[in-house]
Amino acid sequence: MGQDNKIVVKSKAFAVRIIRLYQFLQNEKKEYTLSKQLLRSGTSIGANVKEAIRGFSKKDFRFKLGIALKEASETEYWLELLYETEYISEKQFLSMNDDCIELIKILTAILNSSKDSEIS
């Protein structure tokens, strides 16, 4: 997996969007608790993807991608809470959540295919 790999590019772009949303929530909405959780989990996805690429083994690769998937699921939860408590608009939520769900699908597919290739 190189720098031009789809999951690397998308997870980094998502992290940038998360950072910008965090800044908006801090500066405009004066929301500090949920936004910090969102920042942590949303930026962790890409960090774990990068760690997976440098993994020492296929098991390490899958372990780190599994963590990235868990962080993406957690991020989805924080986005839902921010929307349901009206800190972010429906438009903001749908845009961010769609990207998050796409990351979840990609990570799930990679994990499934890495399991399949191990069985073969």
Q: How many domains does the chain have?
A: 1
CATH code, 83: 1.20.1440.60
- Asked if residue 1 is part of any domain, the answer here is no
Rounded average pLDDT over 19-30: 98
Average confidence score pLDDT of the chain: 94
Q: Is the pLDDT of residue 96 over 80?
A: yes
Confidence class of residue 1 from pLDDT cuts 50, 70 and 90? very low
CA torsion, ordered 108, 112, 115, 120, to nearest 10 deg: -160
Confidence class of residue 118 from pLDDT cuts 50, 70 and 90? low
Residue 57 structure tokens: 């083994």
Residues of the chain with pLDDT > 90: what percent?
A: 90
CA distance 50 to 56: 12
Rounded average pLDDT over 60-70: 97
pLDDT in tens, 82-91: 999 999 999 9
CA gyration radius for the chain? 15
CA distance 92 to 11: 18
Domain residue limits at 14 = 6-119
